[in-house]
Amino acid sequence: MRVTGRSRRGRKRGASRKPRKPGKNRRVRRRSWTVRHAAVVASAVLLVAGMGYAISRASIWGRRAGPFVLSEVEVVGNEVLTESEVVALSGLEVGTNLLSVSISDVERSVASSPRVERAQALRLLPDRIVVRLDETPPAAFVIAPTGECLEITDEGLVLPATERTALIDLPLITGAVGDMTPAGDGAAGNGTEGAGEVWATQEVHEVLEILRTAREVSPLLWMEISEVRIAPGSGLVIYTVADGAEIRVGSGALNSQGLNRLWMVLRDLRSRGEQVQSIDLTYRDQAVVRLRPGSGRRAPAGGAT
């Protein structure tokens, strides 16, 4: 029987093969995979352990590291207070360990000044702290018996003097008598007590009440008021910005009804271009107006309301 080449090649290849034992290569592959798996697991364990150690030592390293040393205090929101005044209030010192600074203590220290309404501090690594603040807005200037011109809030809190004062247009209170009383010593304040705080006298509080009420009646009426003088035995006298008119209020604070009547009179006179010399509000439900010479004749205005 003839044997073809194809069959010879087939037999030759088949004859060259060696029999293999079942399962041998499978065990080799399994052993190789197990070694790789163990190496990966060991590496992961070492990595996690290293990270844990680094985290546990981070605070210690940070306290010892040079970059976490305070080198700058940035102040934001100050208009009257200078940057150096705010830094002095905060108690911060350049060169301090930044991570040891208590942010809440910084905020409390800055806000302790009557000049500051609220304060917020922010730590910015590696070497900076930002202090943001809202300053207490003054409501008026008051001439103290000592002759000092002081800023005062709506509540009667006298603001301490600073290195600079903002150029603000506020009513001026004059004629105050008696020393400004420290908080907690019987002043007619809002009940807040604090070291170093100074409150206005009762007379000044009456003027502040008039200014608050005038602002509620109309901001334009409040802008008309240039000065309020406390006249002993005569009550209060208001002077206007436009023509320096003298407005006699009498004893006691004006209520909203009296200030509404005053605003109606002033608005009517301004619309006619009249120059006012004086307005007397001491009469019940009336405003007696005296015009400046050459501006018109004496006329009663603002009848019963």
Mean pLDDT for 45-58 is 60
Confidence tier at 29 by pLDDT (50, 70, 90): low
Number of domains in the chain: 2
Looking at residue 187, what is its pLDDT?
A: 39
- The residue segments making up the domain with residue 289 are 140-301
Q: What gap in Å lies between CA 114 and CA 123, rounded to an integer?
A: 24
Question: What is the domain-level CATH number for residue 270?
Answer: 3.40.50
Q: What is the pLDDT of residues 175-203, one digit of tens each?
A: 987 766 544 333 334 334 455 678 888 88
54 in a structural domain: no
For 116-162, the pLDDT digits (tens) are 999 999 999 999 999 999 999 999 999 988 888 889 999 999 998 88
Do the domain assignments include residue 130?
yes
Is 157 in the same domain as 176? Answer: yes
Examine the domain organization and report whether 295 and 235 are in the same domain.
yes
Does residue 57 belong to any structural domain of this protein?
A: no
Among 111, 135, 159, residue at a domain's last position: 135
pLDDT at 162: 82
Burial 113-145 (b: 16+ CB within 10 A, else e): bbbbeebbbeeeeeeebebbbebbebbbbbbbe
Question: Do 116 and 173 reside in the same domain of the chain?
Answer: no
Identify whether residues 146 and 280 lie together within a single domain: yes
User: What's phi and psi for 9, nearest 5 deg?
Assistant: -65, -35
